[in-house]
Amino acid sequence: MKFLDLAKVYVRSGAGGNGAVSFRREKYIEYGGPDGGDGGNGGDVWAEAVEGLNTLIDYRYQQHFFARNGQGGMGRQRTGKGGDDIVLKVPVGTEILDEDQETLIADLDTVGQRVRIARGGNGGFGNLHFKTSTNQAPRNSNPGQPGVERTLWLRLKLIADVGLLGLPNAGKSTFLAATSNARPKIADYPFTTLHPNLGVVGIDNTEFVVADIPGLIEGAHEGRGIGDRFLGHVERCAALLHLVDGTSDTVAEDYRTVIAELEAYGGHLADKPRITVLNKIDALEPETLEERAAELEAAAGGRILTMSGVSRDGVTEVLRALRPIVDANRRPAPEAPEDQTWRP
């Protein structure tokens, strides 16, 4: 299944049905009076976060969603049937943005959370509503209100506890494959990972979700390479795991490149709790390992860890270092979410 984290949709709520103009006509009842019923309300358009989805690919092939109109009122004081609602099912973590792609309408970060993004029009009044002591036979009724049309953007930000960062070929996919059941594509060339991958990692009877984010390069915030389009997926992470390729001759420069892209992206990503790891130590001689670990530690300004995703040396220590950060930042399970309505 292809990964898609941004989609444009067009929604329209249903129009309300027209009120009816009708009079009661029965044998032996000369003046039956008005009995026109009201029109039914138009259907609403809702968005709901559901389990089992991690991409917006469904909205690449269908972009238009129209709720049904309400039925018109009828004689004998019969109210028209209301229009059926339509529900857009989206992955947990989906943001709904206005057409300008900046105004946030809703952030669906809880399973079952719903928001009404277009309210259906009210049905019109039938002529029975206009009867007065001085107007016993009104011949006017109200039309139904029109529906609401909106152009919206759906933007998915995956909800993970830990986000993997690093230059291409830093070993992020290898680490995810070694610690979880995820099977990302692994190869020795840049941009092997073309879309984020999620894996559930277990350590000391605790599980948390790790997201493998495609590699950054210098100038990614300006659109170079794959760009920074996937950095939004780590905005929700409790911690960042920054992997640096130990086989590189410029580990300090590699570290600073990724940090600079985080700072350029904004969104307080650079301020998130971060663990720096020198990876691929199985390919280094002891002297080289000591030299590059010291160089990276000086660049990071603090303690770093070392590991190998291939031989799994040091992997347990890295996971144990992540666990307290994840536990401290996990939100308590929310109560049953209430329905929300967007009122533009």
> Is 167 annotated as belonging to a binding site?
yes
- CA-to-CA distance for 86 and 240, rounded, in angstroms? 38
Q: Output the pLDDT for position 224.
A: 53
331 pLDDT higher than 60: no
171: annotated binding-site residue? Answer: yes
CA angle 134, 137, 138 (to 5 degrees): 90
- Does 309 count as an annotated binding residue? yes
To the question of whether residue 268 is assigned a binding role by annotation, the answer is no
- pLDDT (tens digit per residue) in 183-238: 655 545 555 555 677 788 888 888 888 888 776 666 554 555 455 567 777 788 88
Q: How confident is the model at residue 270 (pLDDT cuts 50, 70, 90)?
A: confident
| Mean pLDDT, the chain, whole residue set | 85
270-274 LR contacts (CB < 8 Å, sep 24+):
272/234, 272/237, 272/238, 272/239, 272/240, 273/238, 273/239, 273/240, 273/325, 273/329, 274/239, 274/240, 274/241, 274/242
**pLDDT of the residue at 177:** 85
124 is in an annotated binding site: no
Q: Average the pLDDT over 101-114 and give the result.
A: 92
Any binding-site annotation on 193? yes
Segments making up each domain of the chain, as ranges: 1-156, 162-329
Spell out the residues 6+ positions from residue 52 whose beta carbon is closer than 8 angstroms to its own. none
Rounded to whole angstroms, the Cα distance separating 184 from 177 reads 7
**Residue 194, marked binder:** yes
> Homologous superfamily of 1-156 in CATH?
GTP1/OBG domain (2.70.210.12)
- Name which of 283-287, 315-319, 339-343 the model is least confident about: 339-343
Whether 311 has a binding-site annotation, put simply, is: no
- The CATH architecture that domain 162-329 belongs to is 3-Layer(aba) Sandwich (3.40)
Binding residue per annotation — 109? no
The answer on whether 158 is annotated among ligand-binding residues is no
CA 166 from centre of chain: 23
Average pLDDT over residues 87-93: 94
159 is in an annotated binding site: no
Determine if residue 321 is labeled as part of a ligand binding site.
no
Q: Model confidence over 52-68: pLDDT tens digits? A: 888 898 999 999 999 99
In which band, very low, low, confident or very high, does the pLDDT at 340 lie, cut at 50, 70 and 90? low
Is 168 labelled as part of a ligand binding site?
yes
Q: How far apart are CA 87 and CA 48, in angstroms?
A: 7
86 is in an annotated binding site: no
Q: How many CA within 13 A on the CB side of residue 205?
A: 0
Q: List, for residues 1-43, the tens digit of each pLDDT value.
A: 467 888 999 999 999 999 999 999 888 888 889 999 999 999 9
